Amino acid sequence: MKSQIIWTKALQISRKAVDSGALIPLDTKKYKTNKLCCDYELRFLLSPIPKYLVEYGPKSNPFIPWDSRLEIQSINNKHTLILNKYPVQLGHMLLITNEWKPQNGWLNNDDFDAIKNVDNDTTGLWFFNSSKEAGASQPHRHFQLLPRHHYESICPRYDWFCSLLNNNDNTKSLISHCISIKQRNYNIDTNTNDLYNSYKSMIHEMNLGDIDLDSKPLKPYNLIITSEWIALITRKTDKSYGFSINALGFAGYFLGTKKSDVDVLIKFGAEQILKDVID
């Protein structure tokens, strides 16, 4: 079991940030399904939609400088861990680069070192959205972490990803052809970054370009990282049936609004929604 000191600290700072108005939790209601096995969790947004989700045109960078009231701690001198200003789950963290790095650029070894630094203490569901088409709301590089206790399910589609990792039959899947998944390796030389090596391997496998030759990835994509594996999903758009889809959609989390066709999700399941946003 991990110490989860960072998670504890994040919750403590969250309470102070809510009191100061720096943190604005989103109020949601969970849809209760009668299905015994369900590959999604659907929530309905009860709070007003945050302005950054509906504003068009140029936006100010919220990370230069970041709000000190949301800061948790510095990570490896090049990254800082802060709270998500509009969380559905308290303790939702953002790992941001201290200096400007583009969200749609190539990730580097420092990024994955910072993830591992946090992950050694507090783990859970990590995710990354490479661009607006992949569901990113900010162009400044940031990774996101939803912490989990060791006894909690990582996400609704965790078992599906594990079956994909183990090469079980997924011929009925509508989306598996756009996903590359690699097992994490904890038994390698500590000077080697297994996550970064897996990232480069998946970039090659999914034809996203050459890190040494191309200025940025040739396609939008999502990353999902757990303690067991890292997965990359290639994307083409961020909307399907009125849902805004980022990496959390592939993990099985959906946030319904007035524009969302929730009946399609409820009747046909997550992959019917996800198949229209993959490349």
Query: Count of residues for the chain?
Result: 279
Confidence at residue 188, expressed as pLDDT on a 0 to 100 scale:
53
Furthest C-alpha separation in the chain = 51
- Tally: H helices and E strands in the chain: 8, 13
Question: Contacts by 14-22 with C-beta closer than 8 Å and gap 24+?
Answer: 14/83, 14/87, 14/90, 14/91, 16/69, 17/69, 17/70, 17/83, 20/69, 22/67, 22/69, 22/70, 22/85
Query: What is the C-alpha radius of gyration for the chain, rounded to an integer number of angstroms?
Result: 18
**Strand duo 229-234 + 179-183: pairing:** antiparallel
- State the Cα–Cα distance between residues 100 and 162, nearest whole angstrom: 35
* 8 Å CB contact between 184 and 228: yes
**Superfamily of domain covering 5-274:** ATP adenylyltransferase (3.30.428.70)
> Tens digits of per-residue pLDDT, 52-108?
555 545 678 999 999 999 999 999 999 999 999 999 999 999 999 999 999 999 999
Lateral strand order in the sheet of 28-30: 28-30, 41-45, 253-256
Confidence at residue 56, expressed as pLDDT on a 0 to 100 scale:
47
pTM for this entry: 0.95
> Tens digits of per-residue pLDDT, 197-247?
999 999 999 999 999 999 999 999 999 999 999 999 999 999 999 999 999
Confidence at residue 168, expressed as pLDDT on a 0 to 100 scale:
73
* 8 Å CB contact between 134 and 124: no
Select from 6, 57, 65, 34 the least CA-distant residue to 266.
34
Domain boundaries, the chain: 5-274
